[in-house]
Chain A
């Protein structure tokens, strides 16, 4: 044991000098905790930027008719809102959490490839600088939806598409590097005795997510490259006149796109699997089944992509196949929800803020899952396709799913990061305001969607006016609620509040709670002993 420990220690030759002062500390840092913090702040800023765009969208949709923005600018808002939230907020937030927590959870001193870690973060701000600056160019930024369907992104787009493509390439490179780092860390850096089936669920879910990332981000890179060459270099991948096929774009895009939605939710499943046992004071029910469920969701995610394309005129056999495969995913997902509920069953539950967010996640994510199941049914999808019902569905799984889990994680581990308890009153305000407003924002979208209101259109028929007013009010309230979170985070970073013990939450289990709070700059330089 001790010889292994020394070896690991000896090889760890990339120590940062503790706290190089000023900006250089952050620019050159290779410390997983620093990089985690950078990712998390970046994600939060992008969340506010993408949120501001959502506010523009909701302001325009507050009333029928055209009030505030031009239709072309509205389309740019829906497009860039989607891109910023997916690639700028949710994915970097999860990567930030992985940076902070994975090494601590497996008893490793740092990520396996610290220098690459620095790179994978620092190219991200440039990607988004490029994307966001394209909005200010003549003719505007991308306006073809975050899914950039050809021929909208080829024949009918403007020259800023080149910037869009370039920025997506950088985002892809960043997440691929991040994923490689996570995999290498988990495979090679686990403390002695930490077998795969002893790894915490957050580590497991990220391990599987990282494989999804390296499998599909290159396909996305291929898709944007084809758009680029079709648009600027005269190829005809998606141009029917030259022998290509625009429907093929959708196949390639969604081959990436569906696994992508699991990239954005599997780490969330991991987080919830930590928080629920901690506040129910019972070990996670069905650990092994959680691992297998995660793996089967990931595998199934590769054979369901065409459920986004039911209305493209596929043959019935294909529609049946994709319908059934999609519905099959609800089985492992159901296993997970069952396990969380079973963990709480007869537990000694308390309702601290992380637990509140986790419980809201379970209920609201399940609503999003159920509307997803409705969308999976081919014949009815013809009615729901491209309506606000779809918007309601994916915002339930991404906002009250992924983002609520990130907030739950932030509250759960923030005291470990700062060493101080966050402002609980503010946190409770943040939770309740968010919970109420988010449902006011997204629930009525189901109704207007079923009634036929199309998505991505800046104007709508009069009969949708009342619902849209409420939706917009919910949207503004949800946006404002996040400022409470901002205030809380600023307060937390200034280390205000009561000091907390190493095990911040009495029911919390895992190696991260063995190290002092705040977590020292270097942890587990000597690997811990795993029982």
Chain B
């Protein structure tokens, strides 16, 4: 085999590595999500509704769930809940209402992104209904009450007795327009 074809062989292999690693960079995106979904380590909660069927309520335990609301920089909405914290038994269905108002003079589409801290509690928080599952369009000056129903999975480890669910509200008007 002459030198040139020897070189070609190595170059071809190396180019496969280069292309593969470029793909790997993008593969990290779904991998990251899968990894976080499985382990719940970054506090992301599921964004599909859970079903509430034949859940056994564990009356021997009480979990405190705290709620935090904030709006992203540049998002003019008022966004809060009167329920600062609730104590629930694992398995018990609970509803919390969130209030949102668009005081601006333009229509805005909002998107709430939930996050749980400490992270490991995230996979035990099951939401049967949440405004964060979809975008919230509010006309200028409009206000709304948004319900959220959840229960804590009875499988939650004994060392987690308290966790915080925080919602950050983003202005996604531009993306929403682009999509329609």
Contacts and interface: CB of A to CB of B under 8 A. Distances in A.
A119 B70 CA distance: 52
A187 interface: yes
A218 interface: yes
A215 B21 contact: yes
B14 A188 contact: no
Contact of B10 (A183, A221, A237, A251): A183
A221 B18 CA distance: 10
B150 to A, nearest CB: 20
A8 B32 contact: no
Interface stretch (B22-30, B53-61, B141-149): B22-30
B21 A218 contact: yes
A216 B28 CA distance: 13
A241 interface: yes
A234 interface: yes
B25 A252 contact: yes
Interface string A231-247: 00010110011110101
B34 to A, nearest CB: 12
B95 interface: no
A176 B16 CA distance: 12
B168 to A, nearest CB: 7
B83 interface: no
B63 interface: no
B175 A242 contact: yes
A7 B119 CA distance: 64
Given A222-B25, A252-B28, A234 B175 contact: yes
Contact of A184 (B7, B25, B119, B172): B7
A218 B41 CA distance: 27
Nearest to A8: B3
Given A113-B7, A184-B11, A314 B28 contact: no
Contacts of A252: 25, 28-29
A219 interface: yes
Contact of A315 (B17, B119, B168, B175): B119
Interface string B89-133: 000000000000000000000010100010110000000000000
A223 B10 CA distance: 27
A464 to B, nearest CB: 29
Contacts of A188: 3, 6-7, 10
Nearest to B119: A315
A60 B42 CA distance: 39
A22 interface: no
A248 B26 CA distance: 11
B52 to A, nearest CB: 25
Interface in B148-180: 168, 170-172, 174-175, 178
Contact of A251 (B15, B28, B117): B28
Contacts of B25: 218-223, 252, 255
A214 interface: yes
A14 to B, nearest CB: 10
A11 B2 CA distance: 8
Contacts of B168: 240
A313 B175 CA distance: 29
Interface string A334-372: 000000000000000000000000000000000000000
Given A183-B10, A315-B119, A237 B18 contact: no
Interface in A151-190: 176, 180, 183-184, 187-189
A57 interface: no
A313 B4 CA distance: 52
Contacts of B43: 313
A218 B11 contact: no
Contacts of B41: 314-315, 318
A215 B29 contact: no
A438 interface: no
A112 interface: yes
B18 A214 contact: yes
A184 B119 CA distance: 47
Contacts of A220: 25
B19 interface: yes
A241 B21 contact: no
B113 A315 contact: no
A228 to B, nearest CB: 13
Q: Which of B111, B113, B168, B171 has the most CB of A within 10 A?
A: B113
B111 to A, nearest CB: 5
A236 B10 CA distance: 37
Contact of A183 (B14, B20, B26, B117): B14
Interface in A352-405: none
A236 B174 CA distance: 13
B51 interface: no
A279 B111 CA distance: 67
Interface string B41-53: 1111001000000
A184 B19 contact: no
B64 interface: no
B136 to A, nearest CB: 12
B42 A247 contact: yes
20 contacts: A11-B2, A11-B4, A176-B18, A180-B15, A180-B18, A184-B7, A187-B10, A214-B21, A218-B21, A218-B25, A219-B21, A219-B22, A219-B25, A226-B26, A234-B175, A248-B29, A251-B32, A313-B43, A313-B119, A318-B41
Interface of A: 7-8, 11, 112-113, 176, 180, 183-184, 187-189, 214-223, 226, 234, 236-237, 240-243, 245, 247-248, 251-252, 255, 313-315, 318
Interface of B: 2-4, 6-7, 10-11, 14-15, 17-22, 24-26, 28-29, 32, 39, 41-44, 47, 72, 111, 113, 117, 119-120, 168, 170-172, 174-175, 178
- Among all A-B residue pairs, the 9 with the closest Cβ atoms: A222-B25, A241-B170, A218-B22, A218-B21, A219-B25, A11-B3, A184-B10, A315-B41, A240-B113
Given A11-B2, A226-B26, 17 more contacts: A7-B3, A112-B3, A183-B14, A216-B21, A218-B19, A219-B21, A219-B25, A220-B25, A222-B25, A223-B25, A236-B175, A240-B168, A241-B175, A245-B32, A252-B28, A252-B29, A313-B43
